[in-house]
A and B are shown apart, each in its own frame.
Chain A
Amino acid sequence: MPKLLFGVLAILVLAVISLFIGVSDVTPMSLISSSPEDRPMQVLLISRVPRTLALMLSGSALAVAGLLMQMLARNRFVEPGTAGTVESAVFGILVITIFWPGSPLIAKMLAATVTALMGTALFMQILRRIPLRSTLMVPLVGIMLGGVISSITAFFAYRYDLLQTLGTWTMGDFSGVLRGRYELLYISAGLVGIAWIAADRFTVAGLGQDFTTNLGLNYRRVLTLGLTIVSMVTAVVVVSVGSIPFLGLIVPNLVSMAVGDNARRAIPWIVLMGAGFVLTCDIIGRVIRFPYEIPIGTVFGVIGSALFLYLLLRRRPANG
Protein backbone atom coordinates (compact mmCIF):
# COMPACT_ATOMS: atom_id res chain seq x y z
CA MET A 1 0.00 0.00 0.00
CA PRO A 2 2.72 2.61 0.79
CA LYS A 3 4.20 1.81 -2.62
CA LEU A 4 0.85 2.58 -4.19
CA LEU A 5 0.76 5.94 -2.36
CA PHE A 6 4.20 6.69 -3.72
CA GLY A 7 2.85 5.95 -7.20
CA VAL A 8 -0.08 8.32 -6.69
CA LEU A 9 2.36 11.02 -5.62
CA ALA A 10 4.50 10.49 -8.73
CA ILE A 11 1.42 10.84 -10.95
CA LEU A 12 0.44 14.06 -9.19
CA VAL A 13 3.90 15.50 -9.82
CA LEU A 14 3.68 14.55 -13.51
CA ALA A 15 0.21 16.07 -13.72
CA VAL A 16 1.42 19.37 -12.26
CA ILE A 17 4.35 19.46 -14.70
CA SER A 18 1.91 18.74 -17.52
CA LEU A 19 -0.26 21.68 -16.44
CA PHE A 20 2.55 24.20 -16.73
CA ILE A 21 3.97 23.21 -20.13
CA GLY A 22 2.86 25.17 -23.17
CA VAL A 23 3.30 28.18 -25.35
CA SER A 24 1.06 30.43 -23.30
CA ASP A 25 2.61 31.93 -20.19
CA VAL A 26 1.03 29.89 -17.44
CA THR A 27 3.19 29.55 -14.32
CA PRO A 28 2.27 29.44 -10.64
CA MET A 29 3.62 33.00 -10.43
CA SER A 30 1.57 34.35 -13.34
CA LEU A 31 -1.53 32.70 -11.90
CA ILE A 32 -1.11 34.43 -8.56
CA SER A 33 -0.17 37.80 -9.98
CA SER A 34 -3.12 38.03 -12.39
CA SER A 35 -6.85 38.04 -11.72
CA PRO A 36 -8.95 34.91 -12.46
CA GLU A 37 -10.50 36.59 -15.49
CA ASP A 38 -7.10 37.12 -17.09
CA ARG A 39 -5.45 34.95 -19.65
CA PRO A 40 -3.28 32.61 -17.48
CA MET A 41 -6.16 31.33 -15.37
CA GLN A 42 -8.44 31.04 -18.39
CA VAL A 43 -5.84 29.04 -20.35
CA LEU A 44 -5.34 26.81 -17.35
CA LEU A 45 -9.05 26.10 -16.93
CA ILE A 46 -10.09 25.85 -20.56
CA SER A 47 -7.10 24.10 -22.06
CA ARG A 48 -4.48 22.83 -19.62
CA VAL A 49 -6.61 21.15 -16.94
CA PRO A 50 -8.86 19.43 -19.51
CA ARG A 51 -5.81 18.19 -21.39
CA THR A 52 -4.11 16.78 -18.30
CA LEU A 53 -7.32 15.13 -17.13
CA ALA A 54 -7.96 13.71 -20.60
CA LEU A 55 -4.45 12.26 -20.66
CA MET A 56 -4.83 10.56 -17.31
CA LEU A 57 -8.34 9.27 -17.99
CA SER A 58 -7.59 7.82 -21.40
CA GLY A 59 -4.19 6.45 -20.40
CA SER A 60 -5.48 4.53 -17.41
CA ALA A 61 -8.63 3.31 -19.16
CA LEU A 62 -6.78 2.03 -22.23
CA ALA A 63 -4.29 0.23 -20.01
CA VAL A 64 -7.07 -1.47 -18.04
CA ALA A 65 -8.82 -2.38 -21.31
CA GLY A 66 -5.55 -4.01 -22.36
CA LEU A 67 -5.47 -6.10 -19.19
CA LEU A 68 -9.07 -7.24 -19.68
CA MET A 69 -8.37 -8.24 -23.28
CA GLN A 70 -5.32 -10.21 -22.16
CA MET A 71 -7.35 -12.00 -19.51
CA LEU A 72 -10.26 -12.81 -21.79
CA ALA A 73 -8.21 -13.85 -24.82
CA ARG A 74 -5.75 -15.53 -22.44
CA ASN A 75 -2.87 -14.07 -24.37
CA ARG A 76 -0.17 -11.67 -23.27
CA PHE A 77 0.06 -9.80 -26.56
CA VAL A 78 -3.54 -8.81 -27.13
CA GLU A 79 -4.93 -5.33 -26.58
CA PRO A 80 -7.68 -3.29 -28.28
CA GLY A 81 -5.17 -2.30 -30.97
CA THR A 82 -4.24 -5.91 -31.79
CA ALA A 83 -7.74 -7.37 -31.64
CA GLY A 84 -9.55 -5.33 -34.25
CA THR A 85 -11.31 -3.30 -31.54
CA VAL A 86 -9.82 0.10 -32.40
CA GLU A 87 -10.29 -0.40 -36.14
CA SER A 88 -13.90 -1.45 -35.61
CA ALA A 89 -14.55 1.61 -33.45
CA VAL A 90 -13.11 3.86 -36.16
CA PHE A 91 -15.31 2.11 -38.71
CA GLY A 92 -18.35 2.86 -36.55
CA ILE A 93 -17.46 6.55 -36.30
CA LEU A 94 -17.03 6.71 -40.07
CA VAL A 95 -20.41 5.10 -40.69
CA ILE A 96 -22.25 7.51 -38.43
CA THR A 97 -20.31 10.47 -39.85
CA ILE A 98 -21.41 9.52 -43.35
CA PHE A 99 -25.07 8.98 -42.46
CA TRP A 100 -25.39 11.71 -39.83
CA PRO A 101 -22.69 14.30 -40.50
CA GLY A 102 -23.45 16.62 -37.58
CA SER A 103 -23.94 13.88 -35.01
CA PRO A 104 -23.00 14.79 -31.41
CA LEU A 105 -19.96 13.16 -29.83
CA ILE A 106 -22.08 10.88 -27.68
CA ALA A 107 -23.85 9.43 -30.74
CA LYS A 108 -20.48 8.82 -32.38
CA MET A 109 -19.32 7.12 -29.22
CA LEU A 110 -22.33 4.82 -29.10
CA ALA A 111 -21.90 3.91 -32.76
CA ALA A 112 -18.22 3.20 -32.13
CA THR A 113 -19.10 1.06 -29.10
CA VAL A 114 -21.48 -1.09 -31.12
CA THR A 115 -19.02 -1.73 -33.95
CA ALA A 116 -16.11 -2.20 -31.53
CA LEU A 117 -18.11 -4.84 -29.69
CA MET A 118 -18.97 -6.58 -32.95
CA GLY A 119 -15.39 -6.49 -34.18
CA THR A 120 -13.96 -7.78 -30.90
CA ALA A 121 -16.60 -10.51 -30.68
CA LEU A 122 -15.65 -11.53 -34.22
CA PHE A 123 -12.01 -11.71 -33.12
CA MET A 124 -12.93 -13.94 -30.17
CA GLN A 125 -15.02 -16.13 -32.48
CA ILE A 126 -12.06 -16.56 -34.82
CA LEU A 127 -9.87 -17.52 -31.87
CA ARG A 128 -12.44 -20.13 -30.86
CA ARG A 129 -12.71 -21.58 -34.36
CA ILE A 130 -9.09 -21.96 -35.34
CA PRO A 131 -7.05 -24.07 -32.99
CA LEU A 132 -4.01 -21.81 -32.85
CA ARG A 133 -2.37 -21.83 -29.53
CA SER A 134 0.90 -20.30 -30.51
CA THR A 135 1.17 -17.17 -28.41
CA LEU A 136 2.18 -14.88 -31.24
CA MET A 137 -0.40 -16.12 -33.73
CA VAL A 138 -3.23 -14.65 -31.65
CA PRO A 139 -2.23 -10.97 -31.93
CA LEU A 140 -1.25 -11.58 -35.56
CA VAL A 141 -4.78 -12.74 -36.29
CA GLY A 142 -6.09 -9.64 -34.52
CA ILE A 143 -3.79 -7.34 -36.47
CA MET A 144 -4.88 -8.99 -39.73
CA LEU A 145 -8.53 -8.60 -38.79
CA GLY A 146 -7.86 -4.97 -37.91
CA GLY A 147 -6.13 -4.52 -41.26
CA VAL A 148 -9.14 -5.86 -43.13
CA ILE A 149 -11.54 -3.62 -41.21
CA SER A 150 -9.41 -0.50 -41.59
CA SER A 151 -9.02 -1.07 -45.33
CA ILE A 152 -12.81 -1.16 -45.62
CA THR A 153 -12.93 2.02 -43.56
CA ALA A 154 -10.29 3.67 -45.72
CA PHE A 155 -12.18 2.74 -48.88
CA PHE A 156 -15.37 4.43 -47.74
CA ALA A 157 -13.50 7.36 -46.22
CA TYR A 158 -11.84 7.88 -49.61
CA ARG A 159 -15.19 7.68 -51.39
CA TYR A 160 -16.75 10.24 -49.07
CA ASP A 161 -13.68 12.44 -48.87
CA LEU A 162 -13.16 11.81 -45.15
CA LEU A 163 -9.58 10.50 -45.18
CA GLN A 164 -8.30 13.57 -43.31
CA THR A 165 -10.88 13.18 -40.57
CA LEU A 166 -9.98 9.51 -40.30
CA GLY A 167 -6.48 10.45 -39.23
CA THR A 168 -7.70 12.27 -36.13
CA TRP A 169 -9.30 9.12 -34.74
CA THR A 170 -6.53 6.70 -35.50
CA MET A 171 -3.65 8.83 -34.23
CA GLY A 172 -3.92 9.88 -30.62
CA ASP A 173 -3.54 13.62 -30.21
CA PHE A 174 -4.36 15.69 -27.15
CA SER A 175 -3.57 19.14 -28.57
CA GLY A 176 -7.21 19.71 -29.47
CA VAL A 177 -8.56 18.90 -26.01
CA LEU A 178 -10.54 21.80 -24.59
CA ARG A 179 -13.17 22.21 -21.92
CA GLY A 180 -16.43 20.84 -23.30
CA ARG A 181 -14.70 18.35 -25.60
CA TYR A 182 -13.24 15.72 -23.32
CA GLU A 183 -15.93 15.13 -20.68
CA LEU A 184 -17.05 11.89 -22.34
CA LEU A 185 -13.81 10.43 -21.03
CA TYR A 186 -15.28 10.39 -17.53
CA ILE A 187 -17.37 7.44 -18.73
CA SER A 188 -14.14 5.50 -19.05
CA ALA A 189 -13.36 6.19 -15.40
CA GLY A 190 -16.72 4.63 -14.51
CA LEU A 191 -15.90 1.63 -16.68
CA VAL A 192 -12.55 1.18 -14.93
CA GLY A 193 -14.48 1.26 -11.66
CA ILE A 194 -16.71 -1.56 -12.85
CA ALA A 195 -13.66 -3.54 -13.95
CA TRP A 196 -12.19 -3.09 -10.48
CA ILE A 197 -15.40 -4.25 -8.78
CA ALA A 198 -15.57 -7.33 -11.02
CA ALA A 199 -11.79 -7.88 -10.83
CA ASP A 200 -12.00 -11.38 -9.34
CA ARG A 201 -14.32 -12.55 -12.10
CA PHE A 202 -11.86 -11.43 -14.73
CA THR A 203 -8.94 -13.11 -13.00
CA VAL A 204 -10.95 -16.33 -12.79
CA ALA A 205 -11.91 -16.02 -16.47
CA GLY A 206 -8.20 -15.62 -17.18
CA LEU A 207 -7.70 -19.12 -15.75
CA GLY A 208 -9.88 -20.51 -18.56
CA GLN A 209 -13.43 -21.62 -19.19
CA ASP A 210 -13.18 -24.88 -17.22
CA PHE A 211 -11.83 -23.20 -14.09
CA THR A 212 -14.48 -20.50 -14.38
CA THR A 213 -17.32 -23.01 -14.67
CA ASN A 214 -15.92 -25.10 -11.84
CA LEU A 215 -16.02 -22.04 -9.59
CA GLY A 216 -19.68 -21.51 -10.43
CA LEU A 217 -19.29 -18.48 -12.70
CA ASN A 218 -20.96 -18.11 -16.05
CA TYR A 219 -18.01 -17.79 -18.43
CA ARG A 220 -20.00 -16.27 -21.27
CA ARG A 221 -21.40 -13.61 -18.98
CA VAL A 222 -17.95 -12.61 -17.71
CA LEU A 223 -16.71 -12.57 -21.30
CA THR A 224 -19.59 -10.35 -22.39
CA LEU A 225 -19.08 -7.93 -19.51
CA GLY A 226 -15.35 -7.72 -20.21
CA LEU A 227 -15.72 -7.22 -23.95
CA THR A 228 -18.36 -4.55 -23.38
CA ILE A 229 -16.05 -2.63 -21.05
CA VAL A 230 -13.16 -2.95 -23.52
CA SER A 231 -15.32 -1.81 -26.44
CA MET A 232 -16.79 1.17 -24.60
CA VAL A 233 -13.42 2.33 -23.30
CA THR A 234 -11.96 2.06 -26.79
CA ALA A 235 -14.91 3.90 -28.32
CA VAL A 236 -14.78 6.73 -25.78
CA VAL A 237 -11.04 7.22 -26.17
CA VAL A 238 -11.02 6.96 -29.97
CA VAL A 239 -13.88 9.45 -30.28
CA SER A 240 -12.38 11.94 -27.83
CA VAL A 241 -8.64 11.87 -28.50
CA GLY A 242 -7.80 9.04 -30.90
CA SER A 243 -6.17 5.73 -30.08
CA ILE A 244 -2.76 5.27 -28.49
CA PRO A 245 -1.09 2.15 -29.89
CA PHE A 246 0.76 -0.31 -27.59
CA LEU A 247 -0.42 1.33 -24.38
CA GLY A 248 -2.81 -1.47 -23.45
CA LEU A 249 -0.11 -3.96 -24.21
CA ILE A 250 2.90 -2.52 -22.46
CA VAL A 251 1.44 -1.30 -19.20
CA PRO A 252 -0.28 -4.56 -18.16
CA ASN A 253 2.81 -6.54 -19.14
CA LEU A 254 5.14 -4.36 -17.08
CA VAL A 255 2.77 -4.49 -14.11
CA SER A 256 2.41 -8.24 -14.53
CA MET A 257 6.17 -8.69 -14.16
CA ALA A 258 6.14 -6.82 -10.88
CA VAL A 259 2.90 -7.75 -9.13
CA GLY A 260 1.39 -10.52 -11.28
CA ASP A 261 -1.97 -10.76 -13.00
CA ASN A 262 -4.38 -10.96 -10.09
CA ALA A 263 -6.62 -8.16 -11.35
CA ARG A 264 -7.61 -7.06 -7.86
CA ARG A 265 -3.97 -6.23 -7.15
CA ALA A 266 -2.91 -5.27 -10.68
CA ILE A 267 -5.65 -2.79 -11.66
CA PRO A 268 -4.59 0.03 -9.27
CA TRP A 269 -1.04 -0.21 -10.59
CA ILE A 270 -2.21 -0.37 -14.19
CA VAL A 271 -4.34 2.74 -13.67
CA LEU A 272 -1.39 4.64 -12.21
CA MET A 273 1.12 3.42 -14.74
CA GLY A 274 -1.21 4.00 -17.69
CA ALA A 275 -1.76 7.58 -16.59
CA GLY A 276 1.92 8.09 -15.85
CA PHE A 277 3.05 6.72 -19.20
CA VAL A 278 0.70 8.90 -21.19
CA LEU A 279 1.55 12.01 -19.16
CA THR A 280 5.26 11.40 -19.68
CA CYS A 281 4.95 10.81 -23.41
CA ASP A 282 2.77 13.88 -23.78
CA ILE A 283 5.29 16.01 -21.89
CA ILE A 284 8.08 14.69 -24.15
CA GLY A 285 6.00 15.42 -27.25
CA ARG A 286 5.40 18.97 -26.07
CA VAL A 287 8.96 19.92 -25.15
CA ILE A 288 11.06 18.10 -27.75
CA ARG A 289 10.43 20.67 -30.53
CA PHE A 290 9.03 23.46 -28.41
CA PRO A 291 6.97 25.53 -29.28
CA TYR A 292 5.69 22.89 -31.75
CA GLU A 293 4.15 19.62 -30.71
CA ILE A 294 4.60 16.00 -31.71
CA PRO A 295 1.35 13.96 -31.37
CA ILE A 296 1.42 11.55 -28.47
CA GLY A 297 0.60 8.66 -30.78
CA THR A 298 3.97 9.18 -32.47
CA VAL A 299 5.94 9.54 -29.24
CA PHE A 300 4.27 6.53 -27.73
CA GLY A 301 4.74 4.57 -30.95
CA VAL A 302 8.51 5.03 -30.70
CA ILE A 303 8.86 4.39 -26.96
CA GLY A 304 6.16 1.73 -26.98
CA SER A 305 7.61 -0.34 -29.80
CA ALA A 306 11.02 -0.31 -28.13
CA LEU A 307 9.48 -1.52 -24.90
CA PHE A 308 7.40 -4.07 -26.78
CA LEU A 309 10.53 -5.53 -28.37
CA TYR A 310 12.11 -5.70 -24.94
CA LEU A 311 9.07 -7.58 -23.59
CA LEU A 312 9.17 -10.01 -26.50
CA LEU A 313 12.86 -10.74 -26.14
CA ARG A 314 13.04 -11.07 -22.38
CA ARG A 315 10.25 -13.63 -22.13
CA ARG A 316 11.81 -16.82 -20.96
CA PRO A 317 10.05 -20.01 -21.92
CA ALA A 318 7.85 -21.42 -19.17
CA ASN A 319 9.79 -24.14 -17.40
CA GLY A 320 8.13 -27.52 -17.35
Chain B
Amino acid sequence: MIRTQSVSRSYGDNLVVDNVTLDIPARGVTSIIGPNGAGKSTLLSMVSRLLDMSAGSVTIDGMDVTKTPSDVLARRLSILRQDNHISARITVRDLIGFGRYPHSKGRLTVEDRSHIDKAIDYLDLGALSDRFLDELSGGQRQRAFVAMVLAQDTDYVLLDEPLNNLDMKHAMGMMKLMRQAASELGKTVVLVLHDINFASWYSDYIVAMKDGKVAAQGPGPEMIRPEVLSEIYEMDIKVHEIGGQLISVYYG
Protein backbone atom coordinates (compact mmCIF):
# COMPACT_ATOMS: atom_id res chain seq x y z
CA MET B 1 0.00 0.00 0.00
CA ILE B 2 1.15 3.53 -0.77
CA ARG B 3 0.42 5.87 2.12
CA THR B 4 0.99 9.59 2.00
CA GLN B 5 0.82 11.52 5.25
CA SER B 6 0.17 15.30 5.15
CA VAL B 7 2.31 15.66 2.04
CA SER B 8 2.84 19.20 0.79
CA ARG B 9 4.97 20.83 -1.83
CA SER B 10 5.36 24.49 -2.48
CA TYR B 11 7.30 26.52 -5.00
CA GLY B 12 7.91 29.86 -3.32
CA ASP B 13 4.51 31.00 -2.10
CA ASN B 14 2.71 28.70 -4.45
CA LEU B 15 1.36 25.61 -2.70
CA VAL B 16 1.09 22.97 -5.43
CA VAL B 17 0.27 19.97 -3.24
CA ASP B 18 -1.55 20.90 -0.08
CA ASN B 19 -1.50 18.53 2.88
CA VAL B 20 -2.47 15.34 1.06
CA THR B 21 -3.14 12.28 3.17
CA LEU B 22 -4.05 9.36 0.97
CA ASP B 23 -3.98 5.57 0.94
CA ILE B 24 -3.62 3.94 -2.43
CA PRO B 25 -4.64 0.30 -2.12
CA ALA B 26 -2.17 -2.40 -3.14
CA ARG B 27 -2.96 -4.69 -6.09
CA GLY B 28 -5.12 -2.99 -8.61
CA VAL B 29 -5.27 0.00 -10.91
CA THR B 30 -5.67 3.41 -9.32
CA SER B 31 -6.16 6.46 -11.51
CA ILE B 32 -5.50 10.01 -10.41
CA ILE B 33 -7.66 12.46 -12.32
CA GLY B 34 -8.23 16.18 -12.08
CA PRO B 35 -7.83 19.44 -13.99
CA ASN B 36 -4.48 20.89 -15.08
CA GLY B 37 -2.42 22.23 -12.21
CA ALA B 38 -4.21 20.11 -9.62
CA GLY B 39 -0.88 18.71 -8.37
CA LYS B 40 -1.28 15.17 -9.74
CA SER B 41 2.15 14.90 -11.32
CA THR B 42 3.82 16.65 -8.39
CA LEU B 43 2.25 14.16 -5.99
CA LEU B 44 3.34 11.22 -8.14
CA SER B 45 6.90 12.59 -8.30
CA MET B 46 7.05 12.89 -4.51
CA VAL B 47 5.65 9.41 -3.98
CA SER B 48 8.40 8.07 -6.24
CA ARG B 49 11.19 10.13 -4.53
CA LEU B 50 11.94 12.07 -7.73
CA LEU B 51 10.96 15.28 -5.98
CA ASP B 52 11.54 16.31 -2.38
CA MET B 53 8.54 17.03 -0.21
CA SER B 54 8.16 20.37 1.54
CA ALA B 55 6.36 18.55 4.34
CA GLY B 56 4.90 15.16 5.14
CA SER B 57 5.99 11.61 4.45
CA VAL B 58 5.33 8.79 2.03
CA THR B 59 5.62 5.10 2.78
CA ILE B 60 5.41 2.19 0.39
CA ASP B 61 4.66 -1.09 2.15
CA GLY B 62 5.89 0.66 5.27
CA MET B 63 9.18 1.84 3.69
CA ASP B 64 9.76 5.58 3.95
CA VAL B 65 10.67 6.69 0.43
CA THR B 66 13.08 9.36 1.58
CA LYS B 67 14.97 7.04 3.93
CA THR B 68 14.98 3.74 2.04
CA PRO B 69 18.09 3.31 -0.16
CA SER B 70 17.27 4.28 -3.71
CA ASP B 71 18.43 1.00 -5.21
CA VAL B 72 16.20 -0.97 -2.84
CA LEU B 73 13.23 1.16 -3.84
CA ALA B 74 14.09 0.71 -7.52
CA ARG B 75 13.30 -3.00 -7.17
CA ARG B 76 9.91 -2.26 -5.63
CA LEU B 77 8.69 0.81 -7.43
CA SER B 78 9.09 2.24 -10.91
CA ILE B 79 8.05 5.61 -12.23
CA LEU B 80 7.69 7.12 -15.67
CA ARG B 81 7.11 10.83 -15.85
CA GLN B 82 5.53 12.62 -18.76
CA ASP B 83 7.57 14.58 -21.30
CA ASN B 84 10.76 12.59 -21.41
CA HIS B 85 13.34 14.20 -23.64
CA ILE B 86 16.20 11.89 -24.40
CA SER B 87 18.95 13.13 -26.65
CA ALA B 88 21.10 10.02 -26.38
CA ARG B 89 20.94 7.59 -29.29
CA ILE B 90 19.99 4.35 -27.55
CA THR B 91 18.28 1.42 -29.20
CA VAL B 92 14.85 0.38 -27.97
CA ARG B 93 16.22 -2.95 -26.75
CA ASP B 94 19.09 -1.28 -24.85
CA LEU B 95 16.69 1.19 -23.24
CA ILE B 96 14.40 -1.60 -22.08
CA GLY B 97 17.48 -3.47 -20.88
CA PHE B 98 18.33 -0.57 -18.59
CA GLY B 99 15.04 -1.28 -16.85
CA ARG B 100 16.82 -4.35 -15.48
CA TYR B 101 19.61 -2.25 -14.00
CA PRO B 102 18.25 -2.34 -10.42
CA HIS B 103 18.35 -6.14 -10.55
CA SER B 104 21.47 -6.89 -12.57
CA LYS B 105 23.60 -3.72 -12.36
CA GLY B 106 24.31 -3.95 -16.05
CA ARG B 107 25.19 -7.65 -16.38
CA LEU B 108 22.13 -9.10 -18.01
CA THR B 109 21.24 -12.64 -16.96
CA VAL B 110 19.01 -15.10 -18.78
CA GLU B 111 16.16 -14.02 -16.52
CA ASP B 112 16.79 -10.36 -17.38
CA ARG B 113 16.64 -11.16 -21.08
CA SER B 114 13.33 -12.95 -20.71
CA HIS B 115 11.89 -9.89 -18.94
CA ILE B 116 13.19 -7.67 -21.75
CA ASP B 117 11.70 -9.90 -24.44
CA LYS B 118 8.36 -10.01 -22.65
CA ALA B 119 8.27 -6.22 -22.31
CA ILE B 120 9.06 -5.87 -26.02
CA ASP B 121 6.23 -8.27 -26.80
CA TYR B 122 3.69 -6.63 -24.50
CA LEU B 123 4.19 -3.24 -26.09
CA ASP B 124 4.33 -4.53 -29.63
CA LEU B 125 7.87 -3.24 -30.19
CA GLY B 126 9.31 -6.34 -31.88
CA ALA B 127 9.81 -4.66 -35.24
CA LEU B 128 11.33 -1.58 -33.63
CA SER B 129 13.61 -3.18 -31.07
CA ASP B 130 16.86 -2.42 -32.89
CA ARG B 131 15.90 1.11 -33.90
CA PHE B 132 17.35 4.15 -32.14
CA LEU B 133 14.98 6.23 -30.02
CA ASP B 134 15.55 9.31 -32.17
CA GLU B 135 14.21 7.39 -35.16
CA LEU B 136 10.83 6.73 -33.54
CA SER B 137 7.61 8.70 -33.44
CA GLY B 138 6.39 10.17 -30.16
CA GLY B 139 3.95 7.32 -29.58
CA GLN B 140 6.50 4.63 -30.35
CA ARG B 141 8.95 6.27 -27.97
CA GLN B 142 6.30 6.42 -25.26
CA ARG B 143 5.72 2.68 -25.66
CA ALA B 144 9.46 2.05 -25.40
CA PHE B 145 9.60 4.00 -22.12
CA VAL B 146 6.67 2.05 -20.70
CA ALA B 147 8.32 -1.20 -21.80
CA MET B 148 11.44 -0.19 -19.88
CA VAL B 149 9.39 0.42 -16.75
CA LEU B 150 7.63 -2.95 -17.17
CA ALA B 151 10.97 -4.73 -17.59
CA GLN B 152 11.92 -3.26 -14.22
CA ASP B 153 9.28 -5.67 -12.89
CA THR B 154 8.37 -3.83 -9.70
CA ASP B 155 5.34 -4.37 -7.45
CA TYR B 156 4.42 -0.72 -7.84
CA VAL B 157 4.25 0.91 -11.26
CA LEU B 158 3.62 4.66 -11.42
CA LEU B 159 2.92 6.22 -14.79
CA ASP B 160 2.30 9.90 -15.43
CA GLU B 161 0.00 10.25 -18.41
CA PRO B 162 1.09 7.04 -20.12
CA LEU B 163 -1.39 7.59 -22.93
CA ASN B 164 0.45 10.69 -24.15
CA ASN B 165 1.00 10.58 -27.89
CA LEU B 166 -0.70 7.21 -28.27
CA ASP B 167 -3.35 6.52 -30.89
CA MET B 168 -6.63 4.89 -29.85
CA LYS B 169 -5.47 1.38 -30.54
CA HIS B 170 -2.28 1.70 -28.54
CA ALA B 171 -3.96 3.68 -25.78
CA MET B 172 -6.44 0.88 -25.33
CA GLY B 173 -3.66 -1.71 -25.54
CA MET B 174 -1.73 0.15 -22.85
CA MET B 175 -4.72 0.26 -20.49
CA LYS B 176 -5.50 -3.42 -21.07
CA LEU B 177 -1.89 -4.21 -20.27
CA MET B 178 -2.09 -2.27 -16.99
CA ARG B 179 -5.33 -4.02 -16.14
CA GLN B 180 -3.69 -7.38 -16.85
CA ALA B 181 -0.59 -6.50 -14.82
CA ALA B 182 -2.81 -5.71 -11.86
CA SER B 183 -5.22 -8.64 -12.14
CA GLU B 184 -2.85 -11.41 -13.19
CA LEU B 185 0.50 -10.38 -11.73
CA GLY B 186 -0.86 -8.65 -8.63
CA LYS B 187 0.86 -5.35 -9.36
CA THR B 188 -0.18 -1.98 -8.04
CA VAL B 189 -0.55 0.41 -10.94
CA VAL B 190 -1.01 4.13 -10.34
CA LEU B 191 -1.81 6.28 -13.35
CA VAL B 192 -2.30 9.96 -13.88
CA LEU B 193 -4.96 10.15 -16.57
CA HIS B 194 -6.73 12.95 -18.38
CA ASP B 195 -9.26 10.79 -20.14
CA ILE B 196 -11.88 10.07 -17.48
CA ASN B 197 -13.49 7.40 -19.63
CA PHE B 198 -10.27 5.39 -19.72
CA ALA B 199 -10.08 5.89 -15.96
CA SER B 200 -13.66 4.72 -15.51
CA TRP B 201 -13.32 1.69 -17.74
CA TYR B 202 -10.05 0.28 -16.42
CA SER B 203 -9.51 1.42 -12.83
CA ASP B 204 -10.45 -0.16 -9.52
CA TYR B 205 -10.01 3.05 -7.61
CA ILE B 206 -10.10 6.69 -8.64
CA VAL B 207 -8.57 9.66 -6.84
CA ALA B 208 -9.63 13.12 -7.98
CA MET B 209 -7.41 16.08 -7.19
CA LYS B 210 -8.15 19.77 -7.39
CA ASP B 211 -6.09 22.77 -6.23
CA GLY B 212 -3.47 20.55 -4.62
CA LYS B 213 -5.95 18.64 -2.49
CA VAL B 214 -7.73 15.33 -2.83
CA ALA B 215 -11.23 16.41 -3.86
CA ALA B 216 -12.81 12.97 -3.89
CA GLN B 217 -11.79 9.34 -3.95
CA GLY B 218 -13.47 5.98 -4.21
CA PRO B 219 -14.17 2.98 -6.41
CA GLY B 220 -15.03 3.83 -10.04
CA PRO B 221 -18.82 3.75 -9.82
CA GLU B 222 -18.80 6.16 -6.87
CA MET B 223 -16.62 8.62 -8.69
CA ILE B 224 -18.04 8.61 -12.19
CA ARG B 225 -21.16 10.56 -11.31
CA PRO B 226 -22.25 13.85 -12.87
CA GLU B 227 -22.26 15.79 -9.60
CA VAL B 228 -18.77 14.58 -8.58
CA LEU B 229 -17.15 15.18 -11.96
CA SER B 230 -18.88 18.50 -12.65
CA GLU B 231 -17.65 19.78 -9.32
CA ILE B 232 -14.04 18.71 -9.98
CA TYR B 233 -13.77 19.96 -13.53
CA GLU B 234 -16.13 22.95 -13.15
CA MET B 235 -18.06 22.04 -16.24
CA ASP B 236 -21.21 20.20 -17.15
CA ILE B 237 -20.49 16.47 -17.42
CA LYS B 238 -23.17 13.87 -18.09
CA VAL B 239 -22.73 10.18 -17.35
CA HIS B 240 -24.36 7.43 -19.38
CA GLU B 241 -24.27 3.73 -18.90
CA ILE B 242 -23.18 2.06 -22.10
CA GLY B 243 -22.63 -1.70 -22.21
CA GLY B 244 -22.47 -1.87 -18.44
CA GLN B 245 -19.77 0.83 -18.24
CA LEU B 246 -20.11 4.41 -17.04
CA ILE B 247 -19.19 6.81 -19.81
CA SER B 248 -18.91 10.54 -19.34
CA VAL B 249 -20.05 12.88 -22.06
CA TYR B 250 -18.85 16.44 -21.97
CA TYR B 251 -18.67 17.58 -25.57
CA GLY B 252 -20.39 20.84 -26.49
Contact = CB atoms under 8 A, between A and B. Distances in A.
Contact of B74 (A216, A260, A319): A216
B173 interface: no
Main DSSP-derived SS at the A contact region: loop
A199 B94 CA distance: 13
B86 A216 contact: no
B1 interface: no
A210 B79 contact: yes
Contacts of B80: 214
Contact of A260 (B87, B132, B136, B149): B132
Interface stretch (A68-76, A174-182, A281-289): A68-76
Interface string A285-320: 000000000000000000000000000000000111
Interface string A66-103: 00000100111000000000000000000000000000
A291 to B, nearest CB: 44
A207 B85 CA distance: 8
Contact of B98 (A133, A215, A318, A320): A215
Contacts of A71: 88
Contact of A218 (B70, B88, B102): B70
B98 A203 contact: yes
B90 interface: yes
Contacts of B78: 214
A256 interface: yes
Given A210-B81, A214-B50, A262 B91 contact: yes
A33 to B, nearest CB: 52
Interface residues of A, number: 31
A206 interface: yes
Nearest to A257: B89
B222 interface: no
B101 A213 contact: no
B14 interface: no
Interface string B64-80: 00000111111100111
A200 B48 CA distance: 22
A75 B87 contact: yes
A320 B72 CA distance: 35
Interface of B: 48-50, 69-75, 78-81, 84-91, 94-95, 98-99, 101-102, 105-106, 132, 134-138, 149, 152
9 contacts: A74-B88, A207-B88, A208-B85, A213-B49, A215-B74, A216-B70, A260-B132, A264-B106, A318-B134
